[in-house]
Structure 1
Amino acid sequence: MTVQDPNVAEANRDEQAIGLAVSNPAQDVTVVSVSGEVDMVSAPALRAGVTANLVDGGKLVLDLTGVSFLGSAGLAVLVEAAQQSRSRAIAFSVVAADRAVTRPIAATGLGEVFDVHPTLDEAIG
């Protein structure tokens, strides 16, 4: 059995945290910009950030241009966001330009589930 120092475990969790920034560049448009690695450790923070910014009748743009890794847990959050958006009449789109994000989206066919744009301006426009 391995015993891990709680201080080391806490430091590892901090290293795997993602950055979330919320902005409103236009009326009824909310942009959640994400940075870091979206994996099973950080996906709950992404889920919370997305859920908190679903505004009925508006538009939610998830900007993943700062994401360096998108794992299956992150993809699951995207699917949930698309489903919640649809049920609440919210337009939902994703900004993805880096291969670390576009490849898993394309490989899973999720580009057919929600709109994917290469730039934030196109997603907002």
Structure 2
Amino acid sequence: MIHLLEELKIEDFQKLTVSLRGNIDLRTNIIVFTFKGQLDAFSEKQFKNFVSNNLKNEYPFVIDLTKIDFLDSSGLGALVQTAKECKKLKLGFSIVGNSRVAQTIKLVRLGDFLNLKSCLEDALTYLKN
């Protein structure tokens, strides 16, 4: 099982679109997806594909958006769809965002639904419990 998880790790950010890059890491049986750039109408499809294509195991995961510069309603929609899939599969997940991203998520009252945490360590602790 560990061998499969090691295959998930991507050292460098992968170019998903002109404005979005993605990365995968493994932290104590929790997958951490890290994104940087813009999560918007132009990148939401690639975001969803990147996450779903790399969920080969039934391990909980964190979507780290602390390096996202811009999040629009399409990006929020992609996060909501991901959360709905996780809830259906009973798969643990959490979202971490910088102050701008967190404010956007809280503004539309999705913080609890998306298991929004203030930092990566809080998200990892949440998923270990």
- What is the TM-score of this pair, normalised by structure 2? 0.78
Give the superposition deviation at 1:105.
Answer: 0.4
The answer for the alignment partner of 1:122 in structure 2 is 122
The answer for the alignment partner of 1:17 in structure 2 is 19
Bigger radius of gyration, 1 or 2?
1
Q: In 2, distance between residues paired with 1:15 and 1:42?
A: 6
Q: CA RMSD in A?
A: 1.7
The equivalences for 1:1-125 within 5 A come to 16-27=18-29, 29-55=30-56, 57-99=58-100, 101-125=101-125
1:111–1:55: structure 2 CA closer, same or farther, 3 Å change rule?
farther
Give the superposition deviation at 1:57.
Answer: 3.8
Q: In 2, distance between residues paired with 1:91 and 1:15?
A: 27
Give the superposition deviation at 1:55.
Answer: 4.9
- The answer to whether the 8 A contact 1:23-1:31 is kept is yes
Identity of aligned residues (%): 26
CA deviation string 1:52-75 (max 9, x = no partner): 233554211000000011001100
CA deviation string 1:21-53 (max 9, x = no partner): 0011112x1111010011100111111112123
1:74–1:25: structure 2 CA closer, same or farther, 3 Å change rule?
same
Give the superposition deviation at 1:103.
Answer: 1.8
The answer for the alignment partner of 2:8 in structure 1 is none
How many residues get paired?
110
Structure 1 stretches of 4+ with a deviation exceeding 6 A read none
The answer for the alignment partner of 1:5 in structure 2 is none
- What is the TM-score of this pair, normalised by structure 1? 0.80
Q: Where does the alignment leave 5 or more consecutive residues of structure 1 unmatched?
A: 1-13
- The answer to whether the 8 A contact 2:17-2:43 is kept is no
Q: In 2, distance between residues paired with 1:37 and 1:113?
A: 22
Q: Where does the alignment leave 5 or more consecutive residues of structure 2 unmatched?
A: 1-15
The answer for the alignment partner of 1:7 in structure 2 is none
Aligned residue identity for 2:47? L
